[in-house]
Each structure stands twice: as structure tokens, then as C-alpha cells.
């Protein structure tokens, strides 16, 4: 049996790091994986992308930078000697499992010190990079998956699909090397193993959604909450988030609701849990983004949750992901007796859809989703089969600064600081930044004009006299400590340049605040306490 040492993995990482060619990286990794036992390949694949445990696992090292650097510093004195045997990849992983399981910092530190002392300087350096998720060898997950495909003789598509079901590069690598193409192709949904949820692309127009989905489509209300995937078998219910963490304990109301309505022995349901306070939905995600994970769990327990189901991926032993959406909806209706379902209509009539959108917004929800009736459920993929339609509003802003662009936008001032006018002081205050919305010709013209208006420079930023006005679309106004204005536009993008307008005509800060308050007319406001 081949027992690959950790130092061999480090040698591979250095080779991968040294080449800038993607195909060469793939070839190097594939060749390496091919030589390993499947279990070793799993561990190596994970470490290469900076993961110690599978993504869905609840295990975590809980080792911060401070502890790591203390361990490394403690080694310095001892480390000059040349080591004969470095630990194997699997030994490294089993020690890391012990580190994760250890409850005291001292125990964690002792285990890591033991592990690092058995390694050379370079191995320590790379392991530290892996543990701090900063591997930086230019081989992100896509490259490693491509290497797995090449090592196992299957297509990248097949490996990607398996990854979306398994959510673990390690597991994909292990199955691929153990059972080859057949094993990769046969990967499918398993109960109590969450899959990455299917995602949607943005669409700005109802007509476009109808056209794109072949003349008629299923519109559902788009709720602003937490995506949940509920797995049920008999009495056992598990709730997973979009990032695959198990939040069952934090959502007793969701568990209860599913138990009550489900008329099946086993099922996997997809939906959104929304917070409802005083009959109005709470804008949950904004809150989630701001608070730390633990606080989220506490909050989830505090706010009553309602479940809105919109898909079913498994029912009584049958995997349904390849069934068309329309069939899945029928099965979902059947399995739940029509309870807890997302509001939905099927139509090809834009007026009917607009009316449906109006009702969704009036009820405090985010907008609509349009779902292609014939589409299968594609875990983890963001495509045009599902389209999200959120209403947007526009404001007029004046550009007060711009940053030099990168990549394709190199040489252009292409990232703009957008400001509104404070009526009280006459000051222009920044409320957002965007590089979206202009054509190449416009970028060019803008760069030329902005340079004429330059009043200062700071690193990559050129500050300008407020003169050029742009109409900016946004999806939402948020409070933001980042800007002096205290407000920020979410998903800002330039709709057009208003050469016809002067800076004194831009939207005022007071107007923006009024619109911000307006947002809460149909939404409940939650003060984190």
C-alpha cells in the first residue's frame, strides 16, 4: 500500500504554486492523486483547498491565528535538524481530528506542537497555510475537481455534479479513485446529507422571464429569510442551511411545522424560513450578515419562524432532482397536503405577473422567483432556469471620486464613488460605489472627463470635483457605518449618465433617508438586543 507522506504533498504544492498554467496544475495534481490510496486522496484534496473536514461537517479545529503562531514560534529552537521521516498525510489528518475534538486550548496546543515538531520547516509553513485557509498555490476547488476528473477518467461536468451532491472535494476524490467514472456518475442525493441548493440569476423584467421560460413560467413569491433544506425520515427531522450547517436545534418551529403537515415516510424539502414579527416579515438576511454565527442561532430561537416550501428533492425512497419542476411541485403539494407552500401562479401574462409581484411587495416580501416548468433541480448551480425578480428604484448621484480599474478595466477610472447632497450643509456624501453599468466607450469618456475634474489623489483613488451626475439603480437602502452619510445603496449600478443634470439636482440625503424609512412600512424592524 502506498503511504504518502505529508512532505510529498508539500512538494506537490510547491510545484503547483510554481506554474501559472492551469492545465499544468491540473496534470500535476491528477498525477499525484492517481498514486494515492482513495482515503489519502480524499485528505490531500481537502488540504489542498484549505479544508480539514468536509464542508458539511460540524467538526472545526477552532484554532486561531494566535495559537498557531505561538506553536510555530515555540518550534524555532528545535527546528534545525533534518528529519528522516515526515508524518503521512493520514497521520496529519488524524492528529487534526484530535485537535478538533480537544476541548482545551492547552490540549490543542500540545497536539499541534507534537505534530509540527515531527515536520521540517517547509511542511510546517504549508500546514499553517492550509489550516488558516490561505493555501494560495493557485489551485482553487475548480482546479482540484478538474484534477479528480482527469485522475478518474471522467468529465469535469460529472465530477462537478457529484461535488454538488456531496459538498466535499475529499469525498468526490475518494469515490472517483475507488470506483472510477461509474462511481462518480452514480452519486445522488442521500437522505440526511444536505446538497447545495439550486440558485437563481437576477432578471430585471417580468416579460424577459416569461420569454426566457418559453412563454409561460411559474412565479413564486420571493421571501427574505433563511434557505432551509429539511430532511425527514420517520421521526427524525434535520434542518440544514444554504451553507449546509445543521440548524435543527435553532428551528424547533420549522421541525414542528414539517412534522405536522408531511404525509410521507421520508422526504427532502427545500424552502425558506422567514421571521415574522407582528404579522410582518423581518428582513432576516441583513441581520444575518451583520451578526456573528452564534448570535444568529440565538436570534433564530427568539424570532418565530414560518416555513415556506417551494421544492421537493426526495420522496419515499425516490430521488426527484431529475424530474421536471412542474412534477416536483405536484409531488410537493401532495406530500404536504398543500400546506406551507410558497405563494405561486403559473402564467404567461405579464399583467397577471405584475399584479402578483405587487401583492408580494405589499405583503413585505422581496419580489418574485420565476421557475422554468421543465427544469430539473440542479444542486449548487446558479442559472437562468430560476430567475429572481426584485424591484428596483433609482436615485441621481454625483461622482466624487473614482478608482483605477483592474484587469479588463485597466487604464480606466472605472469604480465610482457615488454621492448624494446633504440639504442641511450642502455637502456631497458618499452612499455607495459601483463599477457596473457603463459601456467601454462610456468608461473611456468618463475617465477623460474625471481627470479634468481631479482635485486630489490617494493610492488608486482619484478625487474629483462633483460635476458628473449618474442615475443609479439599487435594490435596497441600508444603514451603514462605513460612510459618513450613514447610508449605503445595495447592488448599486449605473443606469445612465445624466449629462443633462448638474450636481445641485442630485437626490438629497434627506430623500434617501425617507426612502429608507419607507422600506419598513411593510417590513418589521428588528433591533438586535
Residues with a known catalytic role: 222
Q: Which residues, in sequence order, are bridge partners of residue 105?
A: none
| β-strand pairing of 382-389 with 199-203 | parallel
Q: Which residues, in sequence order, are bridge partners of residue 490?
A: 476
Nearer residue to ligand AMP within complex by CB, 175 or 371: 371
For the bound state, the minimum distance from the C-beta of residue 397 to ligand AMP, rounded and expressed in Å, comes to 23
Nearer residue to ligand AMP within complex by CB, 356 or 443: 356
**Rounded distance between C-alpha atoms, residue 491 and residue 433, angstroms:** 9
First to last CA, the chain: 57
Decide: 112 and 104 in contact? Cβ < 8 Å: no
Decide: 512 and 487 in contact? Cβ < 8 Å: yes
**Rounded distance between C-alpha atoms, residue 210 and residue 208, angstroms:** 5
Nearer residue to ligand AMP within complex by CB, 160 or 308: 308
Q: Roughly what angle, to the nearest 10 degrees, separates helices 121-131 and 105-117?
A: 140
For the bound state, the minimum distance from the C-beta of residue 489 to ligand AMP, rounded and expressed in Å, comes to 16
For the bound state, the minimum distance from the C-beta of residue 60 to ligand AMP, rounded and expressed in Å, comes to 24
Nearer residue to ligand AMP within complex by CB, 222 or 328: 222
Residue tagged 418589521 (cell numbers): 524
For the bound state, the minimum distance from the C-beta of residue 187 to ligand AMP, rounded and expressed in Å, comes to 23
For the bound state, the minimum distance from the C-beta of residue 200 to ligand AMP, rounded and expressed in Å, comes to 5
| β-strand pairing of 428-434 with 413-421 | antiparallel
Decide: 413 and 253 in contact? Cβ < 8 Å: no
Nearer residue to ligand AMP within complex by CB, 199 or 303: 199
- List contacts with ligand AMP (CB under 6 A): 197, 199-200, 220, 222-223, 227, 242, 272, 310, 342, 369, 388
Q: Using only C-alpha atoms, what is the Rg of the chain?
A: 27
For the bound state, the minimum distance from the C-beta of residue 128 to ligand AMP, rounded and expressed in Å, comes to 34
Q: Roughly what angle, to the nearest 10 degrees, separates helices 65-75 and 121-131?
A: 170
**Rounded distance between C-alpha atoms, residue 92 and residue 52, angstroms:** 10
For the bound state, the minimum distance from the C-beta of residue 393 to ligand AMP, rounded and expressed in Å, comes to 17
Nearer residue to ligand AMP within complex by CB, 139 or 228: 228
Q: Which residues, in sequence order, are bridge partners of residue 305?
A: 275
Decide: 347 and 353 in contact? Cβ < 8 Å: yes
Nearer residue to ligand AMP within complex by CB, 283 or 466: 283
Measured at CB, which residue is nearest to ligand AMP? 227
* 51, 117, 371, 393, 489 from 492: Cα distances, Å: 34, 51, 25, 10, 6
Decide: 49 and 139 in contact? Cβ < 8 Å: yes
**Rounded distance between C-alpha atoms, residue 332 and residue 322, angstroms:** 15
Amino acid at each position: 500500500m502506498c503511504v504518502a507522506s505529508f512532505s510529498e504533498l508539500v512538494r506537490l504544492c510547491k510545484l503547483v504554486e510554481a506554474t501559472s498554467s492551469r492545465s499544468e496544475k491540473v496534470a500535476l495534481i491528477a498525477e499525484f492523486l492517481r498514486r494515492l490510496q482513495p482515503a489519502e486522496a480524499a485528505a490531500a484534496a481537502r488540504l489542498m483547498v484549505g479544508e480539514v473536514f468536509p464542508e458539511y461537517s460540524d467538526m472545526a479545529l477552532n484554532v486561531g491565528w494566535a495559537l498557531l503562531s505561538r506553536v510555530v514560534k515555540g518550534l524555532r529552537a528545535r527546528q534545525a535538524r533534518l528529519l528522516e521521516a515526515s508524518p503521512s498525510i493520514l497521520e496529519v489528518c488524524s492528529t487534526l481530528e484530535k485537535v478538533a475534538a480537544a476541548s482545551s486550548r492547552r490540549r490543542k496546543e500540545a497536539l499541534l506542537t507534537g505534530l509540527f515538531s515531527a515536520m521540517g520547516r517547509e511542511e510546517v509553513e504549508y500546514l499553517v497555510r492550509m489550516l488558516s485557509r490561505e493555501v494560495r498555490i493557485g489551485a482553487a476547488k475548480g482546479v482540484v475537481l478538474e484534477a479528480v476528473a482527469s485522475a478518474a477518467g471522467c468529465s469535469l461536468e460529472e465530477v462537478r455534479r457529484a461535488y454538488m451532491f456531496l459538498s466535499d472535494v475529499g469525498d468526490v476524490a475518494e469515490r472517483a479513485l475507488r470506483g472510477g467514472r461509474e462511481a462518480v456518475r452514480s452519486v445522488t442525493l442521500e437522505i440526511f446529507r444536505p446538497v447545495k441548493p439550486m440558485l437563481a440569476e437576477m432578471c430585471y423584467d417580468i416579460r424577459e422571464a416569461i420569454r426566457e421560460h418559453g412563454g409561460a413560467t411559474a412565479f413564486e413569491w420571493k421571501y427574505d429569510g433563511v434557505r432551509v433544506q429539511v430532511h425527514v425520515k420517520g421521526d427524525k427531522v434535520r434542518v440544514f442551511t444554504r451553507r449546509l450547517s445543521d440548524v435543527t436545534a435553532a428551528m424547533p418551529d420549522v421541525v414542528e411545522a414539517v412534522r405536522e403537515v408531511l404525509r410521507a415516510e421520508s422526504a427532502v424539502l427545500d424552502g425558506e424560513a422567514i421571521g415574522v414579527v407582528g404579522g410582518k416579515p423581518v428582513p432576516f438576511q441583513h441581520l444575518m450578515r451583520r451578526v456573528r454565527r452564534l448570535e444568529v442561532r440565538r436570534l433564530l430561537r427568539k424570532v418565530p419562524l414560518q416555513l415556506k416550501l417551494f421544492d421537493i428533492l426526495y420522496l419515499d425512497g425516490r430521488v426527484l432532482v431529475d424530474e421536471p419542476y412542474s412534477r416536483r411541485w405536484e409531488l410537493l403539494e401532495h406530500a404536504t397536503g398543500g400546506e406551507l407552500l410558497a405563494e405561486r401562479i403559473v402564467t404567461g401574462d405579464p399583467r397577471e405577473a405584475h399584479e402578483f409581484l405587487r401583492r408580494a411587495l405589499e405583503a413585505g416580501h422581496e419580489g418574485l422567483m420565476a421557475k422554468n416548468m421543465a427544469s430539473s433541480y440542479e444542486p449548487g448551480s446558479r442559472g437562468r432556469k430560476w430567475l429572481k425578480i426584485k424591484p428596483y428604484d433609482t436615485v441621481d448621484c454625483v461622482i466624487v471620486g473614482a478608482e483605477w480599474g483592474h484587469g479588463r478595466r485597466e487604464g480606466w477610472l472605472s469604480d465610482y464613488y457615488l454621492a448624494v447632497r446633504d440639504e442641511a450643509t450642502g455637502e456631497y456624501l458618499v452612499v455607495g460605489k459601483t463599477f457596473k453599468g457603463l459601456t467601454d466607450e462610456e468608461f473611456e469618456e468618463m475617465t477623460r472627463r474625471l481627470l479634468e475634474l481631479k482635485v486630489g489623489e490617494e493610492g488608486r483613488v482619484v478625487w474629483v470635483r462633483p460635476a458628473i451626475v449618474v442615475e443609479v439603480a439599487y435594490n435596497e437602502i441600508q444603514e451603514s457605518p462605513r460612510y459618513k452619510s450613514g447610508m449605503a445603496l445595495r447592488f448599486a449600478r449605473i443606469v445612465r449618465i445624466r449629462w443633462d443634470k448638474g450636481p445641485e439636482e442630485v437626490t438629497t440625503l434627506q430623500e434617501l433617508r425617507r426612502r429608507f424609512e419607507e422600506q419598513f412600512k411593510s417590513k418589521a424592524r428588528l433591533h438586535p438586543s
